Amino acid sequence: MFKGLSVLKKSTLTAKIGLVVVVLWIICAIFAPLLAPYGMDEKDIAMRLTPPCWEDGGTIEHILGTDEMGRDILSRLLYGSRVSLIVGIMAVVVSLIIGTALGLISGYFGGKVDTVIMRLVDVMLAFPFIFMALCLMAVLGSSLTNVIIVLGITGWVPYTRTIRAQTLSLREREFVIAAHTEGCSHWRIIFKHILPNVIDNAIVQGTLEMAGAILSEASLTFLGLGVPPSIATWGGMVATGRQYIFNAWWLTAIPGLFIFLVCLSINFVGDWIRDVRDPRLRGSD
Amino acid sequence: MLRYIIKRLLQTVLVLFLVVTLVFVLMRCIGDPTKLLVSPEGSYEDIENIKAALGLDKPVYVQYIDYMRGIVTGDFGSSYYYNRPVTDLILEHIPATLLLAGVAIVIAVPLAILFGVIAAVKRNTFLDNIVTTLSIAGRSLPSFWLGLLLVLVFSVFWKVLPASGYGEPNQLIMPAITLAAGLCASITRFTRSSMLEVIRQDYMTTARAKGVYEKKVILHHGLRNALLPVVTMLGLQVGHLLGGSVVVESIFAWPGIGRMMVSAILTYDYPLVQACSLTMAVVFALVNFITDMLYTVVDPRIRYD
């Protein structure tokens, strides 16, 4: 713990800012009902399209203004942070599990299995991600769970590629060969000897992919095939705001800013963690 | 070399075959288009007639064989919604998408290489920090938000650019910038790390020891070698670019393949979705095939035997 703190002290400015924003984001998501001044769907038609408090006509009661139905933007943003947090974590967990499993199998067994999995990777790469996600969402119907499933099963490729590469080299190492001669089964070698050596890289990669998952969820919801409009989401708020872009700028600008800041902060923190773990990778992709 | 080309071509064909099959499976899972085509008062017979007309009454494997036969012979069928041959629709919409993607590449790549090289040469300076931070920012930017912000600033507040449309050069500016931003960020990052790798090499020191000007060392000895992986990276980025165009075209009402595909998915227009995705996959596969081939030309050390 103390070691962690001293590492934090030496961290870059961007990492510190990122960490603060990420922590605030998580707090907002957990305590949204307590922090939000109004309910998620509390409508006040008389106050519809009130601008933020610093603009002419804004009131302090609605700090960030209200939307086309008179709902408080700040409250909806706070509730929306829950969706991005859940999707960010869960989608990464699902694709991390799929990607790690396929990478381990591909790298360890090689041969035909490897060829099949690598061709599958090619197919995934040849297919514009957003299109596959749109198709799957159309199949499954829009819901929060389905967004997580779809992002999970379309996002495993990067993990598979790194895990496979690492497994290929670990497979030839002495400790693996020793385990073999001792009569360990393939699965035992994979789970007890190889997995522990590759998992932390996958998790670091996962932190970086989390920003991507949040962006993808927002894009899908924006296009109308993600989280249904009955739940407050940042992407959905931008989508409705788009219809009022000529008379209410805050409806698009503010929720988008939240998406941007959270993704930026996750990327700052993820990059910093990677640099601390392996300074040779600094600035590489 | 010839053997490698043939092998690579066969691989490309295999991947395309798998993509086509996957699209078929996905589309058949989505749902039944006949419900949308028959009016709510339509009888059961009407539905059956339309099914028969569209060939949807046949068993799935027969539909699959027909579908594959159509693709091989270049017949992609007719769009359910537009009631026109899909090939015509694709040919009508592809120039807009290619124009948008092309302009985005022309904007993004030179800038990205310039930024990447500067950041690598001035490593760990203020300039490098700015470039690196900006490239992370570019990666975190939701493209739909960037597009709408541009609309807010240039169309709503300043009223200098049209908010959407296609045809005039000034209507191309905002969509192209929106699409270019993410691309520029990732190529900058990649060029920087590739250049950092090259700067450490012995031949760079040798060149300097020979008394070559620093500028020439960086551009001739450094950049040339650093650009090799960037070329491959660019090929892979085409996939992201095509995906990004779906969102960008939707925002700016750009009449390209991406926007057509979204509406085709929403109207269960099987033949159109199949053709759109196949077009995208073919473009992507071709670009990557060409990048692989270019690689051997750019780098004479690589020989695929």
Q: Between B178 and B59, name the one with better pLDDT.
A: B178
Q: Give the angle B136-B109-A17 at the CA atoms, nearest 5°.
A: 10
Alpha-carbon distance of B227 to B170, in angstroms, equals 32
Residue B19 near residue A126, CB atoms below 8 Å: yes
Alpha-carbon distance of B254 to A25, in angstroms, equals 35
Q: Does A252 touch chain B (CB under 8 A)?
A: yes
Q: Does B142 touch chain A (CB under 8 A)?
A: yes
B19 contacts: CB under 8 Å, gap ≥ 6: A123, A126, A127, B277, B278, B281
* Residue of A17, A77, A135 to mutate for B, most B C-beta atoms under 10 A: A135
pLDDT at position A1 over 60: no
pLDDT per position as a tens digit, B202-244: 888 898 888 888 888 888 888 888 888 888 888 888 878 888 8
Q: Which two tokens stand for residue B299?
A: 């780098």
The nearest CA of chain B is from the CA of A131 a distance in Å of: 7
Q: Does B239 touch chain A (CB under 8 A)?
A: yes
- Name the residue ranges covered by the structural domains of chain A: 2-33+70-283
Q: Which CATH architecture has domain A2-33+70-283?
A: Orthogonal Bundle (1.10)
pLDDT per position as a tens digit, A132-141: 888 788 778 8
Neighbours of B30 (CB within 10 A): 18
Which of A135, A219, A264 faces B247 most closely, judged by CB atoms? A219
Percentage of the residues of chain B whose pLDDT score is greater than 70: 94
Residue B33 near residue B270, CB atoms below 8 Å: yes
User: Judged by CB atoms within 8 Å, which residues 205-224 of A form the interface with B?
Assistant: 211, 215, 218-219, 222-224
Contacts of B277 in chain A (CB under 8 A): 127-128, 131
Asked if the interface predicted TM-score (ipTM) of this complex is over 0.85, the answer is yes
pLDDT at position B233 is: 84
Helix intervals (H) in A39-128: 73-109, 111-126
The nearest CA of chain A is from the CA of B159 a distance in Å of: 11
Neighbours of B29 (CB within 10 A): 12
Which of A222, A246, A268 faces B136 most closely, judged by CB atoms? A268
pLDDT per position as a tens digit, B169-197: 889 999 999 999 999 999 999 999 899 98
Alpha-carbon distance of A26 to A214, in angstroms, equals 14
Which of B145, B250, B280 faces A260 most closely, judged by CB atoms? B145
Test B246 with A139 for CB contact under 8 angstroms: no
Q: At A284, is the pLDDT very low, low, confident or very high (cuts 50, 70, 90)?
A: very low
Q: Does B24 touch chain A (CB under 8 A)?
A: no
Q: Does A253 touch chain B (CB under 8 A)?
A: yes
User: Judged by CB atoms within 8 Å, which residues 99-138 of A form the interface with B?
Assistant: 119-120, 122-123, 125-132, 134-136, 138
Percentage of the residues of chain A whose pLDDT score is greater than 90: 62
List b or e across B228-249, with b for residues whose CB sees 16 or more CB atoms inside 10 angstroms.
bbbeebbbebbbbbbbbbbbbb
At residue A66, the 3 state secondary structure works out as strand
Highest mean pLDDT among A44-58, A122-136, B15-29: A44-58
Alpha-carbon distance of A261 to B248, in angstroms, equals 21
pLDDT at position A279 is: 62
Which of A224, A245, A263 faces B151 most closely, judged by CB atoms? A245
Q: Which two tokens stand for residue A153?
A: 């099963």
In the predicted model, what is the mean pLDDT of residues A181-193?
Answer: 92
B298 contacts: CB under 8 Å, gap ≥ 6: B227, B228, B231
The separation between the first and the last C-alpha atoms of chain A, rounded to the nearest angstrom, is 29
CA dihedral A166, B188, B175, B283 (to 10 degrees): -50
Q: Does A46 touch chain B (CB under 8 A)?
A: no
At residue B17, the 3 state secondary structure works out as helix
pLDDT at position B176 is: 95
Q: Which among B81, B105, B103, B100 is positioned nearest to B165, based on CA atoms?
A: B100
Percentage of the residues of chain A whose pLDDT score is greater than 70: 95
User: Judged by CB atoms within 8 Å, which residues 59-118 of B form the interface with A?
Assistant: none
* Residue of A131, A209, A266 to mutate for B, most B C-beta atoms under 10 A: A131
Test A128 with B141 for CB contact under 8 angstroms: no
Test A219 with B143 for CB contact under 8 angstroms: yes
pLDDT per position as a tens digit, A194-207: 999 999 889 988 98
CA dihedral A184, A189, A191, A193 (to 10 degrees): 120
Which of B140, B239, B273 faces A125 most closely, judged by CB atoms? B239
Whether the CA torsion B146, B149, B151, B153 is positive or negative: it is negative
Q: Does A196 touch chain B (CB under 8 A)?
A: no
Q: Between A42 and A21, name the one with better pLDDT.
A: A21
In the predicted model, what is the mean pLDDT of residues B265-294?
Answer: 83
- List Cα–Cα distances, A278 to A57, A96, A201, A274, B275, in angstroms: 52, 21, 10, 6, 45
Alpha-carbon distance of A275 to A284, in angstroms, equals 10
pLDDT at position A3 over 70: no
